[in-house]
Amino acid sequence: MSNHLFSEADHAELYQKYRPKWNAEFAEKVVAFVKEKRSSPLLRAVDIGCGSGQSSEILAPHFQHVLGIDVSEPQIAMASANNKLNNVEYRVAPAESIPVPDGSVDLVMCLQAAHFFDFEKFNAEMDRVLVPGGCLAVAGTIYDKFSQDELTRISHQFLHQGPIKDCWHERLDRYVFTEYRTLPMPYDGAVRDDSMSFEFDLTIPQYIDLVSTYSPYREFCRRNPEDNGAFLQNLQKSLYEATASTKPVEEVIVHATFPIFLLLVRKPEV
């Protein structure tokens, strides 16, 4: 699992503030799949690549214990500092070596993270930790679709055609932009769900804050320290001009949609 893309302390803080929040509806859909073959109480869930903890929290009402793991120490520190749930804990650990006993997990969930794993080792780890009939849920999202097509075009031009285009990790191209259709899964019979999305209104500066958390932008900053925020300033200026609004940029609201793709698969019971 790549461990440098989200490791800085300031990135963990931005992640906690600005990333879209996975909601209860998403959790209920995942848990409903788990319960199709699990009549006993759900004891343990593991959230891999938990970041600053927002995704782990949505599992808390459904499991006796939720463990969120991430390779980033700052992300885990942020998650632990903000944790107010008695049945949720966070630990630094890779996806390929989960600190739980064999056959002890009802659900492993990975949101916007599975594309970075060592698939051979990860799939073997799934076989080790999942109970018979236990489930793996992996999900991701495609960035930046606005209700105004011109805003979508500008965003994609900046993020995929400009100076940042070479900063996208090759695994994002291979797996995320194909909506996980080529993602290796540990078991046959995966169920796909494309019915959900993040939808919200936000100001243009709030969108710029979100872009500042993207791993390609963080990589761009590492390669171009002299940029000093100019890339984001130019993106904000272009988006604002495209709205043709006479309001201050801080007051211009745009509607963004982030389609979610979800894969669910179950470990055989025998």
Burial 122-135 (b: 16+ CB within 10 A, else e): bbebbeebbbebbb
* Tens-binned pLDDT, residue by residue, of the chain (270 aa): 344 444 444 555 655 565 667 889 999 999 999 999 877 789 999 999 998 898 999 999 999 999 999 999 988 999 999 999 999 999 999 999 999 999 999 999 999 899 999 999 999 999 999 999 999 999 999 777 899 999 999 999 999 888 898 998 888 889 998 999 999 999 999 999 999 998 889 999 999 998 988 888 989 999 999 999 999 999 999 999 999 999 999 999 999 998 999 999 999 997
**pLDDT tens digits for range 40-87:** 789 999 999 998 898 999 999 999 999 999 999 988 999 999 999 999
CATH fold of 9-266? Rossmann fold (3.40.50)
Q: Residue 5: how many CB atoms within 10 A of its CB? A: 17
Could you tell me the residue ranges of all domains in the chain? 9-266
pLDDT of residue 268: 95
Asked if 157 and 235 touch (Cβ cutoff 8 Å), the reply is no
Residue 139 pairs with which residues in a beta bridge?
Answer: 111, 262
Residue 270 has a pLDDT of: 77
pLDDT at 19: 65
pLDDT of residue 46: 98
What CA–CA distances, in Å, run from 222 to 167, 214, 216, 233, 259?
Answer: 10, 13, 10, 17, 29
Query: Looking at residue 187, what is its pLDDT?
Result: 97
Among 10, 94, 90, CA closest to 53? 90
Note the pLDDT of residue 2.
40
Residue 10, token pair as written in the block: 């300031």
User: Distance of CA 44 to CAs 53, 64, 66, 133, Å?
Assistant: 16, 6, 6, 13
- Nearest residue to 206 via CA among 21, 37, 18: 18
How far is 260 from 168, CA to CA, in rounded Å? 19
SS3 state of residue 242: helix
**What is the pLDDT, as a whole number, of residue 18?**
54
pLDDT, residue 10, reads 57
**Pairing assessment for the beta strands 197-203 and 145-146 based on DSSP bridges:** unpaired
User: Rounded to the nearest 10 degrees, what angle do helices 149-156 and 230-243 cross at?
Assistant: 160
Measured at the alpha carbon of residue 192, what is the angle toward residues 167 and 58, in degrees to the nearest 5? 75
The 10 Å CB-count burial string (b at 16+, else e) for 224-251 is eeebeeebbeebbebbbebbeeeeebee
Say if CB 78 and CB 52 are below 8 A apart: yes
Decide: helix, strand or coil at residue 238.
helix
Q: What is the pLDDT of residue 154?
A: 96
CA–CA dist 252, 203 (Å, integer) = 5
